[in-house]
Amino acid sequence: MPDTNVTAEAETYDFVLVGAGSASCLIVSRLSQQLPHHKILVLEAGEHIQNDPNVQTPGLSFSLQSNPTYDWNYITLPEQGLNGRRVKHPRGKLVGGTSAINSHSVVFPNFEWHDRIAEELLTDSGRAEWNSQSMRDCYKRWQVVTSGPEVKDDVGSLDHVKTSYPRALDVLQSRWTKAFEELGHATSTTGFMESSTGAVTITNAIDSTKGERSHAGTAFMEPALKRGNVTLKTGVKVDKISFHESLTAGGKLTAKGVYYTHQGGYHLINARDIILCAGVFESPAILERSGIGSRKVLEAANVPVLYELPGVGENLQDHLNCSLSCETEDDIPTCDEELRNPEMQKASLREYGQSRTGRLAEGPAHSFAFTSLQMLETPSETQELIEMVKHLVEKESNPSLKTQYAIIRKTIESPSEATATTFMIRSQRHRDRDSMPKGTPAFVDGNFVTVVAMLAHPFSRGSSHISSDPSQQPEIKFNYLSHPLDVEVMARHMRLIERLFQKPTFAAISKPNGKRLPRSHPYPISSLEDAKKILPINSATNYHPCGTCAMMREDLGGVVDERLRVYGTKNVKVCDASVLPIVPRGNILTAVYAFAEKVVEIICKEAGPGSRTG
């Protein structure tokens, strides 16, 4: 939109945060306490949806996705590696962002991931700030566990997300940990720590005292709004950042505010510092509309180039997963019957409404495992993969990719680190409906247990950029399975699941000659070629996009430095999933919260002695 007919608002804010998602809500909470005399404005394109039972009820999370009231409904361009499928990527359309519509699971990165990012991707000045020891408190501060052995009575004055363990483990959840114990891989803790392989029972972002979802909007934004120095504007679409014409003495752009649309009007609001928290698709789009990004992309969109930064919108990654299901013995309880039976679904709603208990009071997945391929591969199979990885990493000519791939290579070579985060679902799962005849039922008869392998650190990279019409949603492409090592590692994890099914614990709960899923391959995997054929038709996203404004050195294609400040600017930061340079193992929300905690530390140091800790 041209800079004409602009309403210039007189007030100047100390901080303007663009977006009220997971990271933003935490940042606002902490800054409202630690910098009480600073004025903070949050601009959110969605709405502040409060006391909505669809959001509050844990078991209704999947009903929020694809619902335009709660979800921005992003979708990729056709993905060649998935037989041309377009993949939906739900993103939360409300205060709290995607933490308000996700499926609750709380999974932490490992020390090695942080240490390698700090050592290999940052400058000398950032390494100490971002290594695992410096990040430990950041991973602790954002949550408090409300059930299980880690319950804390004294949680201090900071706001927290509330997490909890399942109220009781059912048969399958108990057998999950036993299955890995019989392999000699038992783990007992779930937090941010050094890697070890084995099964864990994780928490979910659910307040067990209420049986309700706990998300960034309720945990962080709502308390912050009561402190008097925070203003929240919803229904606001930020167009771009406004910069002063003159550069700093160091040649940097200085932001003076942001342009946004609200109720048909075009506005400019002034700010001393701007923090983009608009998410993995929108944060790079705002930078591009502001004139920061790849010259090729900006010129195609007719945007003047203010600072050429080719990494903006690049480096897009996601956790792709694939699963196998086997039919269980009739006396093993699963969730399948309720999926098929509307009357049982109504009964669950009644139980939840009366007592906040039952299936709807829990998240779908508490049973996870950190799995290395060495767990069930022969030494010769592992060595074959290691040699393949070595050859392809050394062959890579792009400096950024070569550095990132070298980090992933270390994970693959380590028997104690996860090449996939594996989890169990107590029901059937199949993603191959597009490859089945029209009219194929959504569910099959029988009760199933499903094991899902989520590729921990993919090699494939995609992009998210504004189109020739910058007012439209970004053009998103992940290029799933475009790198041959992703195909190789994922196929090997399918074989690992098959071998797990043959071990005593799973063999004891599986129906002899029972059904197998996916439906397009209804029999055990007998070879890697079998597994590779399944990947394009049965793989799905785990909804963990990241990397488009990566925290890396600028010469490696980074967009923000170790202070999360956009290169070429003096006072613009980014903090959301887009800054994660390499996707961590497992669900990424814990890392997003921890990075938000770290940027608050950075901001308060920059603010000087007038700030205070919570």
Closest CA to 102 of 161, 145, 28, 42: 161
Structure tokens at 365: 């997945």
Per-residue burial over 260-289, b if 16 or more Cβ lie within 10 Å, else e, is bbbeeebbbbbbbbbbbbbbbbbbbbbbbb
**238 known member of a binding site:** yes
What sign does the dihedral 164-91-285-21 (CA atoms) show? negative
Phi, psi of 565 (to 5 degrees): -95, 135
Rg value, the chain, Cα = 24
**548 known member of a binding site:** no
CA distance 314 to 563: 20
Residue 115, CA distances (Å) to 110, 131, 578 in order: 9, 5, 19
Residue 368, CA distances (Å) to 198, 361, 364, 429, 457 in order: 9, 19, 11, 16, 17
DSSP 479-530: -TT-SHHHHHHHHHHHHHHHHHHHSHHHHHHBPTT--EESTTS-S---SHHH
Burial class for 320, CB neighbours closer than 10 Å (0-12, 13-18, 19+) = buried
Identity of the residue numbered 605: K
CA distance 270 to 222: 24
Going by the annotation, the residues of the binding site are 98, 238
Going by the annotation, the residues of the binding site for FAD are 98, 238
